[in-house]
Structure 1
Amino acid sequence: MSEFAPLFIGIPGTADTLSVETAGAKATQLWRMSRLGLNVPPAFVLPTGLCAAINRNETDALEALEQGLRDGIAPLEAATGRRFGDARAPLLVSVRSGAAQSMPGMLETILDVGLNAVSVRGLIASTGNPRLAWDSYRRFIQIYGEVVEGVPAAAFDAALAGMISSEGVDGESSLDSEALERLTHEFQAIVIRAAGHPIPDDPMAQLSAAARAVYRSWDGARAREYRRLNGLDNLAGTAVTVQVMVFGNAGGKSGSGVAFSRNPATGANELYVDFLFDAQGEDVVAGRRMPGDAALLAARLPGPAQALAAGVKRLEREFHDIQDVEFTVEEGRLFFLQTRSAKRTPRAALRVLVDLVDEGLLDRATALARASAVDVAAAGTLRFATRPAAIARAISASPGVASGRIAFDSASAKARASGGDPVILVRHDTSTEDVGGFAVAAGILTAVGGRTAHAAVVARQLGRVCLVGCHELTIDETGRRGEIAGLAIEDGDWLSLDGESGEIALGRQEIVTDLPQVELAAIDSWRQP
């Protein structure tokens, strides 16, 4: 068997054993979830060893990629009873990245690969859901256009906004199938104008281009910056996982979400969920829509909610650590798409270690080794010396307090930080393109977004205070000014964020630190003979 042959996940009769170094962490954890009996869509993975050679355009590597994709698709067709590009029961796949260590949001993913003018009709016929089919098709065109062809996202966003306005609805989730069909044709025209050619109809050509784009994302600016900030320059590259699509955008009993087995901001032993109904996974992690929480999921979909809670705790027991789980519900059926050790604040890291030892999930020696990597100085609870008058509130995605000068973009944040001032990065929504701004900011404030968006995950990992979903914040980025609750703010003004209460205040505040004495005492006791 070739060293670049596909390795399979969740397909009966295959007995591949995956390693993190070869298959990347994402695919390896998928394989382990499937072995635990959790509901994982079938998939195959092409190895990290192809990444550098693909990005150098080496002929042998490109041929190995094409052969690997052909060899991988056939078992997915057999496992599902669908055919790639079929006119009656089409198979659609996602193409996902995954390095040996998690890099949340830094690499590319392309969903709904395999759609064309024929298979979209097959999807309508096989599901009886024309809205699902056209919603998936327009999503595919946009993400393929952006990632593979380099079409600016703004062009698609403008067309979507225009369609929402012309239809007189309050958002994309309210567009009907006829409007989404027209939007799909608009998106196709945008790609042709920008790229000079249409997206290929041939599903295998789509798949090949998507896989090469995911490999290329390893060398993208944000991925390089993330590796630099986190000391990951020794990684070989990303793997590429091709997985059967499941549809969170299939209606009111469907959706996508992210669940943490414990609160990654505080360490509290509670299920921590962001979930969007009738949405695909990228909607959640992009942070552009306001998700619901575990209580809302349980109220509307109690069966999947119970299965999720049980599955997440099972994964925590399996991996002996707090887990970050991505999942989709398709017409009331739960699918697990990813698990990884969760990014957490230093404060949460200490509490989780103490609780895992107390619960018998972790031995003291292992816990002590993990504790040695925690920045204890950053684990304290920050608070303002005096409580300021709040002008607005937002959702806390990462705790603590921060006071700094406003910057409306990452470049401005870097410039102010280089001058010695603390910075509050204020954005309508954040993306992982802002990772350079996160690195220098003391705090982050957004108008929209959820606690489990990739940007919020990165903010927690970096130990930055992060408040999201401030409905009272509006920004005029071209004028470098904005308003919070009707009060004007400008670039360079002082702003203060409280990540415990979610409160926002104008002006500069004095900050004091309270260390986690209970957790530190417990950890110290482990060192006693």
Structure 2
Amino acid sequence: MRIVRIAPDMTDLPSAEQVGAKAANLARMAALGLPVPPAFVLPVSLCAATVAGEPKARKALEEGLGEGIAFLEERTGRRFGDGRQPLLVSVRSGAARSMPGMLETVLDVGCTRLATQGLIRMTGHPRFAWDCRRRFLESYGSVVLNIDPHGFDRAAAALAAAEGLPDALDLDGEALERLSETYQHFIEEADESVPDAPMEQVLAAAQAVYRSWMSPRAVAYRRIERLEHLAGTAVTVQAMVYGNRGLTSGAGVAFSRNPSTGDAAPMIDVLLSAQGEEVVSGSRTPLGEEVLRAAVPEAAAELRDVLARLERAFGDVQDVEFTVEDGRLFILQTRNAKRTPQAALRIAVALVEEGLITPHEALARLDDLDMDVLSETHLAETGDPAAYGTGASTGVACGRVAFSSETAQRMAGGGEPVILVRPDTSTADVTGFSVASGILTAVGGRTAHAALVARQMGKPSVVGCAALVMDEAGHVARIAGQEIHEGDWLALDGGTGAIYTGRFEIVTSRPEADLAQVAAWRTAAPVPACA
């Protein structure tokens, strides 16, 4: 087995079938001279053997990881798990076709006890070092050891409460050191252990990422999206860059133009002093581009430039994950953005007008859209909203409330329109997304993986509704103080973020101007039939 090294001086670009779309695009960005941390890739071809537990797969993994880690050490000038200049890595998935949030990631791998002390020596920042350690234990524990992540959340919340703080994000370095020890004990109480040897950590993380190919949500997503022909996932191991180093650091997701409406302006979400999984997981509600501009104006301007360059290079709207470390921008991923059907039509017309693609290419991209039923929806005579969230996927929906994917499937099976109401945007709810008419969450952002999936499915979605409080155990929610039970009627507007209680009529209109342009393309340059 040969690993693929990703660095600016690479000449032969790998294919998505070989290393997955994520790594293939990473290689292309590196070749374009964009700020991409060095990485290496374990190929898709190793996935099936690893999932099956074949001994030869473990040997190939060990050899590939040894070679790849040496490459990263040479490129960064740091040593994996070192006590003075430690290298930490992320271990990420990537199939030949994008499967946002369906496969696993393990961050801060190599953050042993010794490496934690090394981070303190290297940066002079104990809080940052212990934050990396507790993040690693949580990531490794939940992904590799399959420990319920809510146990880590409860431990963090309990310590924050004991310290008189509203949130675990406010804990200082000494408290984070204690929290790390609590996490360690929690893992041991589950009869599991975290190796303190960095190569053992990265081996176990790579195996877990490969195994996530067969997770229930990944299997369900491939079935829903007709991707069952895919051969497996690759594993990308990349040098960590740290969005959690302070208030001139952060992580976020940016779209080169709005994938929900098709508007040309970029759409950027960011969390300061955070790592990327907090944004894409939907567990926190991110902030907008203005926060990034205020904290790190040079990086914010560079990000805008990168978005424009990537859209020109790929000829399509890009969905970009980025990290800012001490004011310096790094690009971790790009892919063609998932979009609503309405946005797909508007974007195709705009890209032709801007000269980025031809009418023939635009027609090919729109081939799966049913133009005869494409419409824009609006709620009629609603009155004042009960609350607002963030519109994540345009369109409107009205249906009966379901608090779980299982309930949503049962209600939809009985012919009822359903609004899936959840605490956060989680890709574990993909089966509920597929049958729901609309999706509402209390936290999360418009760039979370689950919001991407909702857009891809054409489901109206409102996220980050602070007025929504859920009591899952009691099967009740409150929106601005008003009780909502399963089966109650609820309506939402994915464009404005407005939420309404009750049942409302939905009216439709058609984007006639854009549809007329598509019809003109077909008349002027019909796609030739196959001989």
TM bucket normalised to smaller: over 0.9
- How do 1:102-251 residues align onto structure 2 when only pairs under 5 Å count? 102-194=98-190, 196-251=191-246
CA separation in 2, counterparts of 1:421 and 1:77?
57
TM-score normalized by the length of structure 2: 0.97
> 1:346 touches 1:375 (CA, 8 Å); kept in 2?
no
What corresponds to 1:21 in structure 2? 17
Distance 1:231 1:474, change over 3 A: same
- How do 1:58-457 residues align onto structure 2 when only pairs under 5 Å count? 58-194=54-190, 196-376=191-371, 379-457=374-452
| Aligned partner of residue 310 in structure 1, secondary structure | helix
Shift of 1:295: 2.0
Residues 418-440 of structure 1: CA distance to partner in whole angstroms, max 9, x if unpaired? 00000001111121100011001
Structure 2 residue identity aligned to 1:412 = T
What corresponds to 2:527 in structure 1? none
Structure 1 residue identity aligned to 2:323 = T
Shift of 1:238: 0.1
CA separation in 2, counterparts of 1:265 and 1:197?
43
Shift of 1:18: 0.9
Residues 161-188 of structure 1: CA distance to partner in whole angstroms, max 9, x if unpaired? 1011111122222111011000000001
| Aligned partner of residue 376 in structure 1, secondary structure | coil
Distance 1:116 1:459, change over 3 A: same
CA separation in 2, counterparts of 1:76 and 1:166?
41
Shift of 1:497: 0.6
Distance 1:11 1:125, change over 3 A: farther
TM-score normalized by the length of structure 1: 0.98
Q: Percent identity?
A: 55
- For residue 470 of structure 1, the aligned residue among 461, 465, 471 is 465
Shift of 1:80: 0.7
Task: Report which stretch shifted further, 55-64 or 151-160.
Answer: 55-64
CA separation in 1, counterparts of 2:308 and 2:234?
27
CA separation in 1, counterparts of 2:248 and 2:23?
27
CA separation in 1, counterparts of 2:287 and 2:469?
22
Gaps of 5+ in 1: none
| Aligned partner of residue 287 in structure 2, secondary structure | coil
Structure 2 residue identity aligned to 1:62 = R
CA separation in 2, counterparts of 1:81 and 1:378?
57
Shift of 1:482: 1.4
| Aligned partner of residue 108 in structure 2, secondary structure | strand
Shift of 1:376: 3.1
| Aligned partner of residue 523 in structure 2, secondary structure | coil
Distance 1:376 1:190, change over 3 A: farther
| Aligned partner of residue 470 in structure 2, secondary structure | strand
CA separation in 2, counterparts of 1:433 and 1:191?
23
- For residue 31 of structure 2, the aligned residue among 28, 35, 42 is 35
CA separation in 2, counterparts of 1:430 and 1:370?
28
> 1:173 touches 1:278 (CA, 8 Å); kept in 2?
no
Shift of 1:377: 5.4
Residues 433-488 of structure 1: CA distance to partner in whole angstroms, max 9, x if unpaired? 00011001001111111110111111111111110111111111111111111111
CA separation in 2, counterparts of 1:502 and 1:429?
15
Distance 1:204 1:377, change over 3 A: farther
CA separation in 2, counterparts of 1:151 and 1:339?
30
CA separation in 1, counterparts of 2:260 and 2:360?
24
> 1:95 touches 1:109 (CA, 8 Å); kept in 2?
yes
What corresponds to 1:459 in structure 2? 454
> 2:382 touches 2:500 (CA, 8 Å); kept in 1?
no
What corresponds to 1:55 in structure 2? 51
Task: Report which stretch shifted further, 442-451 or 388-397.
Answer: 388-397
- For residue 9 of structure 1, the aligned residue among 6, 23, 26 is 6
CA separation in 2, counterparts of 1:199 and 1:213?
14
Establish whether residue 519 from structure 1 lines up as the match of residue 514 from structure 2: yes
Structure 1 residue identity aligned to 2:120 = I
| Aligned partner of residue 385 in structure 2, secondary structure | coil
> 2:425 touches 2:463 (CA, 8 Å); kept in 1?
no
Shift of 1:296: 2.1
> 2:13 touches 2:28 (CA, 8 Å); kept in 1?
no
Equivalenced residue count is 524
Structure 2 residue identity aligned to 1:38 = L
> 2:392 touches 2:494 (CA, 8 Å); kept in 1?
yes
**CA RMSD, 1 decimal:** 1.1
Residues 129-156 of structure 1: CA distance to partner in whole angstroms, max 9, x if unpaired? 1111100110100110011111101110
CA separation in 1, counterparts of 2:282 and 2:374?
26
Shift of 1:378: 6.0
> 1:86 touches 1:122 (CA, 8 Å); kept in 2?
yes
Task: Report which stretch shifted further, 15-24 or 449-458.
Answer: 15-24
Shift of 1:299: 2.4
| Aligned partner of residue 528 in structure 1, secondary structure | helix
What corresponds to 2:529 in structure 1? none
Shift of 1:512: 1.6
CA separation in 2, counterparts of 1:30 and 1:378?
37
Structure 2 residue identity aligned to 1:482 = A
Structure 2 residue identity aligned to 1:285 = V
Residues 14-58 of structure 1: CA distance to partner in whole angstroms, max 9, x if unpaired? 544311100000000000000111000000001000000111111
Structure 2 residue identity aligned to 1:9 = I
Residues 216-237 of structure 1: CA distance to partner in whole angstroms, max 9, x if unpaired? 0000000000000000000000
Shift of 1:372: 1.3
| Aligned partner of residue 251 in structure 1, secondary structure | coil
> 1:327 touches 1:334 (CA, 8 Å); kept in 2?
yes
Structure 2 residue identity aligned to 1:157 = D
> 2:340 touches 2:458 (CA, 8 Å); kept in 1?
yes
Establish whether residue 496 from structure 1 lines up as the match of residue 491 from structure 2: yes
